[in-house]
Chains A and B, each alone.
Chain A
Amino acid sequence: MPIVLFWLLVWEAVAAIIGSDLVIVSPRVTFARLLELAQTAVFWQSIGTTLGRILRGFLFALIAGTVLAALAARFKTFLKLILPAVNTMNAVPIASFTILALIAFNPSDLAIFVSFVTVLPIIFYNTHKGIESTDPQLLEMAQIFRVPARKVIFRIYFKTVAPYVAAAATSGIGFAWKSGIAAELIGQVSGTIGMNLHAARIWLNTADVFAWTVAIVLLSYGMERTFRIILRVKV
Chain B
Amino acid sequence: MTIELKNICKSFEGKEILRDVSAVFKTGITCVMGQSGIGKTTLAKIIAGLIVPDSGELSFSKPAENLKFSAVFQEDRLLDWETALGNVLFVNPDRERAVAFLNEAELGENLHKKAADLSGGMRRRVCICRALIADYDVLILDEPFKGLDVGLKISIMQMVKTHARGIVICITHDEGEAEFLGGDKFVF
Residues of A within 8 A of B (CB): 137-138, 140-147, 151, 155-156, 159
Contacts and interface: CB of A to CB of B under 8 A. Distances in A.
| Chain A interface main SS type | helix
B79 interface: yes
A146 B68 contact: yes
A158 to B, nearest CB: 10
A137 B73 contact: yes
Contact of A159 (B70, B79, B130): B79
Nearest to B134: A145
Most chain A beta-carbon contacts within 10 A, residue among B73, B77, B134:
B77
Interface string B75-106: 10101011000000011000000000000000
| Chain B interface main SS type | loop
A140 B79 contact: no
A162 to B, nearest CB: 10
Given A144-B69, A144-B71, A145-B70, 8 more contacts: A137-B73, A137-B77, A138-B79, A144-B50, A155-B79, A155-B82, A155-B90, A159-B81
A153 to B, nearest CB: 13
A155 B90 CA distance: 9
- Bin chain B's interface residue count: 10 to 19
A133 to B, nearest CB: 14
A18 B91 CA distance: 68
B90 A147 contact: yes
Interface string B47-74: 0101000000000000000001111010
Given A147-B91, A151-B90, A159-B81, A141 B73 contact: yes
A183 B70 CA distance: 57
B108 to A, nearest CB: 23
* A-B CB proximity, top 9 nearest: A145-B91, A141-B77, A137-B77, A159-B81, A144-B71, A144-B69, A145-B134, A138-B77, A137-B75
Given A145-B134, A155-B79, A140 B90 contact: no
A156 B77 CA distance: 11
Most chain B beta-carbon contacts within 10 A, residue among A137, A144, A159:
A144
A113 to B, nearest CB: 37
